[in-house]
Amino acid sequence: MKRLMVLGVISALLLCFERFSAGRKSQPVAASPTPRIVTLQEVLRHHDALPAEARAFYGALLAQGEVFAVQVEYLPDPLLWLTTTPEQARWMREQHNDAAGLESVVMSAADARDLLTAMGTDVPNTLQEIAQVLASQAPAEV
C-alpha cells in the first residue's frame, strides 16, 4: 500500500470536518474551538478521488465496525482515530504510523473505555458517545 495514500485520506478527512461540522447539531457544545467528529464512512462517501487501494483498505476496516476521526486540540496530532475493534485499531496504526513521518493516535472502543474508567468517568455505551466525550475535553480533564 502506498504511504502517500494515508496523507490523501487525512487531507480528505480534514475537508470533511469543515463540511460536516456545521451540520452536527447533536454534538455537545464545548468551549471554542468546537470539537468535530466525522465517520470514516462519511469520508469515503464524499471523496471520490481516493485511490481504489485506499477505498479497499478503509472498506475492510468498516466491515469490522464503525471508525470515527475526532478532531481534538489536546493532542500533538489533531486527529484521534476511534475504532470499534482492537483489530481495526491495529490495522490503522500499521498503516498510519510512520507514514510520511506521521504518528496517529488510534484507540479501540475497549482502549477508550479503559481510559475513561481509569479517569473515573462514566463510560458511554456507544462508539459515538465515547467520541463525544473524548472530543469534549482532554482526558486529564475528564
Mean pLDDT by 10 residues, the chain (142 residues): 47 53 45 66 80 86 93 80 95 72 82 91 91 81 50
Strands (E), 54-135: 67-71, 79-83, 105-108
DSSP SS3 for 114: helix
Q: Locate 101 and state its grid cell.
A: 513521518
Whole-prediction pTM value? 0.73
Closest CA to 125 of 137, 139, 140, 113: 113
- Burial label for 115, CB within 10 Å (0-12, 13-18, 19+), is middle
pLDDT for res 121: 85
3-class DSSP assignment, residue 84: coil
User: What pLDDT score was predicted for residue 87?
Assistant: 96
Strand 79-83's sheet: what is its strand order? 36-39, 67-71, 79-83, 105-108
Cα-to-chain-centroid distance, residue 40: 8
Domain range enclosing 123: 4-141
Domain count, the chain: 1
DSSP 3-state of 99: helix
Q: At 43, give phi and psi (nearest 5°).
A: -60, -50
Which pLDDT score, from 0 to 100, does residue 86 have?
96
Judged on CB neighbours under 10 Å (0-12, 13-18, 19+), 6 is buried
3-state secondary structure of 115: helix
